[in-house]
């Protein structure tokens, strides 16, 4: 396959930049490492029937009430949001608890980006927990790829970009890329040494913020590669394993 034949890979560093990218017929990977996409991946691999991502707490409560066999989850400021049953930690959804249930999950950044994407061939959910599965899937599709960082209130963040760099680093040979954000993400990934991501991220905005809530162990879990090797995909308003 010549360079010209290869599909295109790009990285979007913030939802506020999404309009610069053509998502038509592309595979869009939603990335919200701390912690929406990590939690969705873990819950589905642990047997959740599906995950319903919603923007607001009130919507989460309403959809939870209307969905038999569901649990509601979501946090605001590091605590279970009022009116919801559970939080936004992948560790809260082991198989013994979540198997066969629908998880109605409200998160801010990840859900927002997911709902902003238009015209994509597919929207899939990426995290370190399913890094290799995502890479294998992207290689198998032969379509343009946009790696979309959910960021933090539209601000660039290190952990989502680091993951984008990890993906690009592994699959760039199969894509044509002229995207400085992808190159920058790869430089960041190379800076991290490609392992011990949590050490690398200890000086990051999100780590500082979440460690105030005692979530260090959570974050360490979220950057552990390949614990949950599945490819969650948005189908209608639900995320399921394909």
Q: Shortest Cβ distance from residue 219 to its own copies (Å)?
A: 14
226 neighbors 170 (Cβ within 8 angstroms): no
Closer to its own copies by Cβ: residue 95 or 187: 187
Alpha-carbon gap, residue 181 to 184, rounded angstroms: 5
Closer to its own copies by Cβ: residue 119 or 193: 193
The DSSP bridge partners found for residue 72 are 104
Alpha-carbon gap, residue 231 to 241, rounded angstroms: 6
- Residues engaged in binding its own copies (CB under 8 A): 13-14, 16-17, 20, 152-158, 161, 178-181, 183-184, 187-188, 190-191, 203-206, 208
Q: Shortest Cβ distance from residue 5 to its own copies (Å)?
A: 19
Report which secondary-structure segment, H or E, holds 96: helix 95-98
Closer to its own copies by Cβ: residue 19 or 95: 19
Q: Shortest Cβ distance from residue 183 to its own copies (Å)?
A: 6
Strands 102-106 and 50-54: parallel
Please give the radius of gyration of the chain, using alpha carbons only, rounded to the nearest integer: 17
Closer to its own copies by Cβ: residue 51 or 181: 181
Q: Shortest Cβ distance from residue 150 to its own copies (Å)?
A: 13
Q: Shortest Cβ distance from residue 155 to its own copies (Å)?
A: 6
**∠ CA 51-57-62 to the nearest 5 degrees?**
70
Q: What is the DSSP letter of 169?
A: H
Closer to its own copies by Cβ: residue 3 or 236: 3
């Amino acid at each position: 396959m010549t360079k010209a034949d290869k599909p295109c890979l790009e990285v979007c560093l913030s939802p506020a930049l999404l309009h610069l990218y053509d998502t038509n017929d592309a595979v869009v990977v939603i990335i919200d490492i701390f912690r929406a996409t990590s939690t969705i991946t873990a819950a589905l691999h642990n047997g959740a029937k599906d995950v319903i991502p919603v923007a607001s707490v009130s919507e989460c409560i309403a959809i939870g009430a209307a969905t038999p066999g569901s649990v509601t989850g979501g946090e605001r400021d590091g605590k279970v949001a009022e009116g919801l049953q559970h939080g936004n930690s992948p560790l809260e959804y082991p198989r013994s608890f979540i198997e066969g249930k629908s998880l109605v999950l409200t998160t801010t950044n990840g859900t927002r980006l997911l709902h902003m994407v238009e015209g994509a061939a597919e929207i899939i959910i990426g995290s370190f927990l399913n890094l290799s599965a995502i890479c294998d899937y992207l290689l198998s599709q032969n379509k343009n790829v946009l790696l979309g960082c959910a960021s933090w209130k539209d601000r660039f963040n290190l952990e989502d970009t680091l993951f984008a760099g990890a993906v690009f680093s592994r699959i760039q040979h199969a894509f044509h890329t002229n995207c400085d954000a992808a190159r920058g993400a790869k430089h960041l990934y190379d800076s991290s040494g490609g392992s011990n991501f949590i050490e690398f991220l200890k000086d990051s905005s999100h780590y500082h913020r979440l460690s105030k809530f005692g979530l260090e162990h959570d974050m360490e879990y979220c950057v552990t590669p390949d614990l949950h090797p599945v490819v969650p995909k948005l189908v209608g308003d639900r995320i399921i394993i394909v």
